[in-house]
Amino acid sequence: MHKYANPNQFLRIANPLLPWFSGVTVLCIGAALYLGLFTSPPDYQQGDTVRIMYIHVPSAWMAMFVYGSMAIASATALIWRHPPGHMITKASAPIGACFTMICLLTGSLWGKPMWGTWWQWDARMTSVLILFFIYIGYIALVNAFDDSARGQRTASVLVLVGAVNLPIIKFSVEWWNTLHQPASVVRFDGPAIHPSMLWPLLIMSVGFTTFYLVVLILRLRGELAATKIRNLRLGQADA
């Protein structure tokens, strides 16, 4: 894996995948929206309000998936000193923060008609809000140092410490009494959702994942270009 520690080599592999990821993103999100809005039936209790699920649930999954990716990239950067690790973490943070914000907003929109309130300080909601604050904290911390390398190392430590929140989010509905229902998709005895509702969820999740990869590659290009410009300016200043 050390050969991928070169950012240029990493992008040399990622760039050809960009159009494929873009195509899958458009197809999957378009198909999921059509299936979720026009094909899947309304819920027998929630009615058409349940259609918020097709954005809310994949956004929640992506909020955790992106942060997990950041934690792995940060560990790689700190242990093996691979520059792409810091670059992936920095490029992923705003994307993950946006997914987390969408999760919180759609959750509030869904909670108002179902629970009669926009917000409750239950374990799942609070832990996801903490995840959002960790994203914001990382973005602020990584840009708070004049020495970019020091800022990246310090912020990566924050990411690894904050990773303890991921299992709390996952198992909060089982450890404490919350308004959220237990897991209904990833279960040992199989999904508890009808296929007409499950398929739009899964297809949207694939679309959101490839969307993340598309934006990640574009942001990595920008990070690499900014690093080259900064190094050129430092070289000119030393000259």
Residue 60 half-sphere exposure, CB side, CA atoms within 13 Å? 21
Per-residue pLDDT tens over the stretch 170-185: 888 888 777 777 666 6
Q: Which helix (H) or strand (E) holds 45?
A: none
Q: How confident is the model at residue 35 (pLDDT cuts 50, 70, 90)?
A: very high
* Between 14 and 73, residue with greater pLDDT: 73
**Mean of the pLDDT values across residues 201-222?**
95
pLDDT band at 153 (very low <50, low <70, confident <90, very high): very high
- Which pLDDT belongs to residue 229? 84
Helices (H) then strands (E): counts for the chain: 7, 0
Q: Where are the domains of the chain?
A: 21-180+194-238
Q: What is the DSSP string of 96-163?
A: HHHHHHHHHHHHHHHHHHHHSSS----HHHHHHHHHHHHHHHHHHHHTS-SSHHHHHHHHHHHHHHHT
Q: Is the model's pLDDT at 56 over the cut of 90?
A: yes
In this prediction, residues 85-112 reach a mean pLDDT of 94
Give the pLDDT confidence of 102-131 residue by residue, as tens digits: 999 999 999 888 888 888 888 899 999 999
